[in-house]
Amino acid sequence: MRATVLESPGQIVLHDVPDPRIELPTDAVVRVVASCICGSDLWGYRGIAQDRGPSRTGHEFVGVIEEIGADVRTVKVGDFVIAPFCISDGTCENCRNGVHTSCLHGGYWGSTDLPAATADAAQGEAVRVPLADGTLVGLPEQPGAEQVPGLLTLSDVMGTGHHAALAAGVTRGSTVVVVGDGAVGLCGVIAALRLGAEQVVAMSRHASRQALAREFGATAVVAERGDEGVARVKELFGGIGPDAVMECVGTKESMQQALDSVRPGGTVGFVGLPYGAELPIRQMFSENKGVRGGVASVRGYIDELLPDVLSGAIDPGRVFDVTLPLADVAEGYRAMDRREAIKVLLRP
Amino acid sequence: MRATVLESPGQIVLHDVPDPRIELPTDAVVRVVASCICGSDLWGYRGIAQDRGPSRTGHEFVGVIEEIGADVRTVKVGDFVIAPFCISDGTCENCRNGVHTSCLHGGYWGSTDLPAATADAAQGEAVRVPLADGTLVGLPEQPGAEQVPGLLTLSDVMGTGHHAALAAGVTRGSTVVVVGDGAVGLCGVIAALRLGAEQVVAMSRHASRQALAREFGATAVVAERGDEGVARVKELFGGIGPDAVMECVGTKESMQQALDSVRPGGTVGFVGLPYGAELPIRQMFSENKGVRGGVASVRGYIDELLPDVLSGAIDPGRVFDVTLPLADVAEGYRAMDRREAIKVLLRP
């Protein structure tokens, strides 16, 4: 089959690779219906993340089960499944606490340190799924083609936006600012409103992203950044700032903006991969500003979010503004890198 | 009157100072019944905090109102009052959010940048209290002498322990570790159990503090520190650590121990003044370990905690293991600095 490989920074290519097969009785093999490119894929593409040598890429996909191992119980051949960006057994202490990303036996797509075999990654034609019972969520019936993008967001960005909102303590009546207008930030707007936030301000300088944030329900948009952005946000929220800030970028500047914006006693929920971000503990202490979040346990959120996606109550699939065949994966990375695309969907 | 002054690091002396008087119609003058020495007073005493030149010291006291300004409504002459360690108006946006420590018009005892006049500090015979309506909590009747130590802990350490527990997300059934066996950590044990924690482990190497932690209800004591301490704690909690860690010290080592100890998805509630502490954001991200807390808004907690102190349901006053006349304040600082005393109560 074909799958994408990051050869070196900037060099993303489609390769012929071995077909996945059942290697353990807890495995499944999934034929990919759609995968996509994540903002976090760009860290490696840009050469910012540690160079691991050539590596398989992608960690978000939906597809149809082709084959299952002898011990797989919760999904069956032919099921349409959502695969979260993290592999988990669903039974260990951490999974039972809802922190599937810290599964004692799990791991990440494309990783080579998983039990017994190299794991495939998501940007390919098919994937061997370890710990299929814990990892995959099967749908009761085949979805319509128009539902696929929304379902695909449950692999990562919609669940991650939801995680940011929960981590920031968003609840009914909350006032919220979302830092970051990527797919996660935009899904974060949906998530905050879904949890009952009264006001949700999106920080964005890009017209198309501002427009989508407003369509998702953002009550205001702030284009300014840094001190000006903070001043504008405080002005919108009684001079002291909002109850909650969702930090969906992961840089030093975005984290500081989040901490400066949130009101005393408020919480920053952060889900941006922190490259270079720092936490000013004295400021957090003196102003009682909490920081919670991290790599989102999206597996645990699918049950809650899926009905809203299937019913159309929320429409996170709209973050995909470019769809490409897998063969054009390099073009997809270029578009994301240049911020010409919010998020690129890939069809094998 | 007489009040203590920190002349320079290590030099704490009792001075004759001007008697406090009403300077604004919102002031009260309180005759001190008891004050005390705080772990945080030692930062200046040890020369670790920025040297501000000679300064009045102490921020915890209870007493009886001698005089009130024309606009004071909620307390009256003769009332026994508890003064939190922070001055607040009780009406601004931040106070209404329960973050009195970020009061838009408040400040700290001994500070000279408060409205209109120099503020007294607590280690003296009397105190001018600005914003008396917002700051002071009056009791319905005069307490017995034996109740004074417990009431005095509501000025700071009991409320701060409660804040650590809330910030760490302690709730019914929580598993909890308390890092720090000072008065705040010991009150934190009381607070966690009071909120329904199922297990509360106190980390302490000092026999007398271990004993008090157990008397307060700690279910176990861990004497090890660093990696050994973390390993012991994980062992006690299913190999992954407790739901919540209350960080009541404020050093780099204690914060790291707290973060290493808490389970993935758990929260560190921190109330130790962070001198040199740092936050490892990558670890927080990958393990979903949150950090919340800061300078405790004890004013907001007095209403909730006072009935339990008056009824004897909790007995935080036991953290005072040394009582001295104000004239011996220097001896009190020495005893605290050498950790010979857990907490020193001063009687004018």
pLDDT of the residue at A116: 47
Between CA B123 and CA A259, with CA B96 as vertex, the angle to 5 degrees is 90
**Cα–Cα distance for residue pair B146/A121, rounded to 1 Å:** 68
Q: What band does A54 get if pLDDT is binned at 50, 70 and 90?
A: confident
Distance CA B58, CA B14 (A): 12
Of B149, B136, B180, nearest to B273 by C-alpha is: B180
Span A153-173, average pLDDT:
98
Are A66 and A11 contained in the same domain? yes
CATH number at residue B278: 3.40.50.720
Same structural domain for residues B144 and B164? no
**pLDDT, tens digit (0-9, with 9 covering 90-100), for B42-85:** 988 998 876 677 889 999 999 999 999 999 999 999 999 999 99
Q: Which residues of B touch A293 (CB under 8 A)?
A: 285, 288, 290
B104-119 pLDDT per residue, tens: 999 999 887 665 456 7
Q: CA–CA separation, A18 vs B105, rounded Å?
A: 68
Give me the residue label for tokens 């036996």: A105
Confidence of residue B308 (pLDDT cuts 50, 70, 90): very high
d(CA B336, CA B40): 11
pLDDT of A149:
98
pLDDT at position A50 over 90: no
Pairwise CB contact (< 8 Å): B273 & A285: yes
One domain, residues B166 and B140: no
Name the residue among B211, B210, B260, B254 with its Cα closest to residue B233. B260
pLDDT at residue A69 above 50?
yes
Residue A18 binned pLDDT confidence (cut-offs 50, 70, 90): very high
Of A269, A293, A317, the residue at which a domain comes to its end is: A293
Domain of A8, in residue numbers? 2-156+297-347
Check A99 against B238: CB less than 8 A apart: no
Question: What average pLDDT does this structure show over A54-79?
Answer: 96
The two tokens of residue B139 are 């009791």
Do B162 and B282 share a structural domain? Answer: yes
Q: Is the ipTM here above 0.90?
A: yes
Q: Are A237 and A309 members of one domain?
A: no
The alpha-carbon gap from B291 to the nearest alpha carbon of chain A, in Å, equals: 5
Contacts of A265 in chain B (CB under 8 A): 94, 97-99, 102, 297
Residue that terminates a domain, selected from A268, A293, A318: A293
Could you say which of B102, B265, B279 has the minimum Cβ distance to residue A287?
B102
Task: Sort A228 into a burial class: Cβ within 10 Å, 0-12 / 13-18 / 19+.
Answer: exposed
Question: What is the rounded distance in angstroms from the CA atom of residue B38 to the CA atom of residue B163?
Answer: 16
Rounded to whole angstroms, the maximal C-alpha distance in chain B is 61
Task: State the average pLDDT over residues B99-103.
Answer: 97
Are B127 and B189 within one domain? no
Model confidence pLDDT, tens digit, residues A34-47: 999 999 899 889 98
Same domain, yes or no, for B202 and B289?
A: yes
> Closest approach of chain B CAs to the CA of A18, in angstroms?
31
Mutate which: A256, A292, A298, A299, vs B, most B CBs within 10 A: A292
Q: What is the pLDDT of residue A51?
A: 67
- The count of structural domains within chain B is 2
Q: Are residues B151 and B236 in the same domain?
A: no
Residues B305 and B283 in one domain: no
Residues A149 and A84 in one domain: yes
Please indicate, yes or no, whether residues A198 and A74 belong to a single structural domain of this protein: no
Report the half-sphere exposure of B254 (CA within 13 A, side-chain side).
25
Helix or strand holding residue A83 (H, E) = strand A80-83
Residues near B312 by beta carbon (within 8 Å), at least 6 away in sequence: none
Domain edge (last residue) among A272, A293, A314: A293
Question: Which residue from B102, B267, B281 is facing A279, i.e. has the nearest CB?
Answer: B281
CA distances in angstroms from B10 to B46, B54, B337, listed in the order given: 6, 12, 10
CATH number for position B335: 3.90.180.10
Residues A61 and A193 in one domain: no
**pLDDT tens, position by position, B267-285:** 999 999 888 888 999 999 9
